[in-house]
Amino acid sequence: MATILCRDLAFSFGDLPLLSGVDLHLVPGWTGLVGANGAGKTTLLRLLTGELEPTAGSIQREPGDLSLTTCPQSVEACTPEIARFAARDDGAARRLLGELALDPAGLARWASLSPGERKRWQIGAALLDEPEVLLLDEPTNHLDHAGRKLLVGALRGFHGLGVVVSHDRALLDTLTEQTLRVAGGGVQTWDLPYSRARRAWEAERAEHNAAHAALQSQHRRIEGRLDDQRRALAGATANRSRRVRSKGKHDSDSRTLGAATLAEWSEKSLGRGASVLRRALDRSASALADHAYEGELGGPIAVAGERAPSAYLAALDVPELRAGDRRVLGPVQVALARDAHVRLAGPNGAGKTTLIRALLARLRCPPARVLYVPQDMSEQEAVAHLDAVRALPPDERGKVLAVVAALGVDPGALLRSRRPSPGEARKLLLAFGLGRPVWGLVLDEPTNHLDLPAVERLEAALAEFPGALLVVSHDDAFARACTRVTWRIDQGELREETAD
């Protein structure tokens, strides 16, 4: 039986600590790995595989020669494993091809396959190898509803040790039995699927914050009592000084001495009381530090977009569109109005990305006025976007970083990082559009890699965007919240549907 044991694990990028004090015991079965963008989920996966070495602590894998396969988020190339999967003609290969609705003949047109089709090939090849440990990073990104159903069915047949990084609640609740939550540089383990685990940690956080509020109230009461004691002590000291200065020649020494002794005793008593309160205040401050308020980064997004001066941002009137040598769509007659909010829908491989590229090639406005966010971006592209933000004029950079913060990313930490996570990179690129005066947004699966709070804030911001919006999304709730019209591709034809 494969197991992975982590003891007091820590990892830092240079001087930037990312994880510390991580204790894990992973056994066969599916475990969900969740957390905010940039929290360290992908880093933890890379530590589990051995791609990264911990800066402290240990990772023990049993047996020592266990077989381990990882499926990263993006699938750019047709790997040797995928090619072997397509070439095999045994029962196991045929079963997986059927479960994932894959056609080996389609592998010849890899360059024109949709990201969702490539993802099914990647995971099918991994399952065919029957590894003892399987690590998946956002496996349902790019998949339509049918593709997700096929994938979950195939993953249920895996009986080894599986870890899946995902923001897909349905996948996590259906597949996993245990949840790891990366937050605040640590990892919490919950022996529950995601939704039940989330309710548990939110209840725990609410209890923690209630304790914080009680301690804060107690701290303020002690501060008030200490202020009163200090004022009383100052008053007593001032009164004694006045009595000494105003002693008359007919005042008896005994009466003066008695009054002075009483005043001195009162001062000392008040001083002792103040010392007691100061110690109580120190203890209260220490307790507050141990029960710091647990909040979440993020908030409402201020949209800086504008409506274009011309009626349409882009128009397309062609007999057909092709992906490589394959006809995917046609005829196509569409125009994107300057204030239209459109959802582009259709199954994986229908031609959605092909249509987007064709529209972007026929813009009726300066390209800089339209932000395009593709499904995926390379690590080099993510670093380039971060460098571009650093190079912006201060006022413009501030607006972009304000959107980044609203999406739940610490701007300072992001600017200090050497490379943003996929979720941080996507938020950064979205901030370029929402924090600057663009006329149009073209977003291909914008919720990929985003944590749930960011998705909810993004849909609210897009609903208020004054310019043109064209969005591809398999998230029905998200699409309904921010679009009014649907362009649907079905069996090579494009039709328009208006929301009820």
Q: What are the residue ranges spanned by the domains of the chain?
A: 3-191, 207-290, 312-498
The answer, yes or no, to whether residue 218 has pLDDT greater than 90, is no
78: left (phi over 0), alpha (psi -120 to 50) or beta: beta
Q: Residues 6 or more apart from 151 whose CB is under 8 A from it? A: 100, 119, 120, 123, 139, 140, 143
What percent of the chain is predicted at pLDDT more than 70?
84
In whole angstroms, give the CA distance from residue 171 to residue 31.
Answer: 11
Instruction: Give the residue carrying structure tokens 């401050």.
Output: 285
What is the pLDDT averaged over residues 406-424?
82
What is the pLDDT averaged over residues 340-359?
89
Rg value, the chain, Cα: 31
Stronger pLDDT, 428 or 58, i.e. the higher one: 58
Tens digit of pLDDT for each residue in 372-399?
988 877 888 888 888 888 888 888 888 8
- At 471, the amino acid letter reads V
Query: CA angle at residue 143 from 139 to 144, to 5 degrees?
Result: 150
In whole angstroms, give the CA distance from residue 483 to residue 486.
Answer: 8
What percent of the chain is predicted at pLDDT more than 90?
34
Pick the CATH number of 3-191 from 3.10.290.10, 3.40.50.1980, 3.40.50.300, 3.90.1170.50: 3.40.50.300
Tens digit of pLDDT for each residue in 14-57?
778 889 999 999 999 999 999 877 788 889 999 999 999 999 99
**Residue 58 — pLDDT band, cuts 50, 70, 90?**
very high
Q: Residues 6 or more apart from 73 whose CB is under 8 A from it? A: 42, 137, 138, 141, 376, 422, 449
Q: What architecture (CATH level 2) is domain 312-498?
A: 3-Layer(aba) Sandwich (3.40)
pTM of the model: 0.64
pLDDT at 380: 86
Read off the tokens for 387: 């460098």
Tens digit of pLDDT for each residue in 428-443?
888 877 777 889 999 9
CB 26 within 8 A of CB 161: yes
Q: Rounded to the nearest 10 degrees, how much is the dihedral formed by the CA atoms of 250, 252, 258, 261?
A: 70
What is the pLDDT averaged over residues 319-343?
87
CB 96 within 8 A of CB 124: yes
What is the pLDDT averaged over residues 339-349?
89
Whether the domain at 3-191 and the domain at 312-498 fall into the same CATH topology: yes
Tens digit of pLDDT for each residue in 127-162?
999 999 999 998 987 787 888 888 999 999 999 999
The answer, yes or no, to whether residue 491 has pLDDT greater than 90, is no
Please list the residues that pair with 343 across neighbouring strands.
Answer: 471, 486
* Burial environment of residue 430 by CB neighbours within 10 A (0 to 12, 13 to 18, 19 or more): buried
Instruction: Give the residue carrying structure tokens 């995926």.
Output: 376
138: Cα separation from own chain's centroid = 12
In whole angstroms, give the CA distance from residue 10 to residue 37.
Answer: 19
- The CA distances from residue 274 to 111, 264, 284, in Å, are 77, 15, 15
Q: Rounded to the nearest 10 degrees, how much is the dihedral formed by the CA atoms of 348, 351, 352, 354?
A: 130
Nearest to 475 by CA among 242, 211, 178, 141: 141
Which backbone phi and psi does 189 adopt, to 5 degrees?
A: -110, 130
